[in-house]
């Protein structure tokens, strides 16, 4: 779910809300009950989790030959 930033025009409170894309935007401030405006965000970066994303993960172990 995307994170939306809101700013209250009455008290200046800024907050984030996790909302589905099809949900209606908020209209009331949770602190003072004033009107809020949804801010345009830059979004978040792509996050890779787990192994397999670095060149060292694919590096083969070279075994030294014994003579």
For the chain, which residues make up each domain, given as ranges? 1-43
Structure tokens at 60: 């083969």
Confidence of residue 3 (pLDDT cuts 50, 70, 90): confident
- Amino acid 55: pLDDT: 62
pLDDT at 46 over 90: no
Q: Which architecture, in CATH terms, is 1-43?
A: Single Sheet (2.20)
Q: Is this structure's pTM higher than 0.85?
A: no
Confidence of residue 24 (pLDDT cuts 50, 70, 90): very high
pLDDT at 22 over 60: yes
Q: Is 43 left (phi over 0), alpha (psi -120 to 50) or beta?
A: left
Query: How high does pLDDT run on average in the chain?
Result: 80
Dihedral pair phi/psi, residue 46, rounded to 5°: -75, 130
């Amino acid at each position: 779910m995307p994170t939306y930033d809101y700013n209250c025009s009455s008290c200046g409170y800024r907050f984030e809300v996790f909302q589905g894309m099809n949900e209606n935007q908020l209209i009331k401030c949770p602190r003072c009950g004033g009107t809020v405006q949804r801010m345009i965000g830059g979004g978040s970066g792509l996050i890779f989790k787990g192994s397999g994303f670095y060149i060292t993960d694919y590096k083969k172990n070279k075994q030294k030959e014994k003579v």
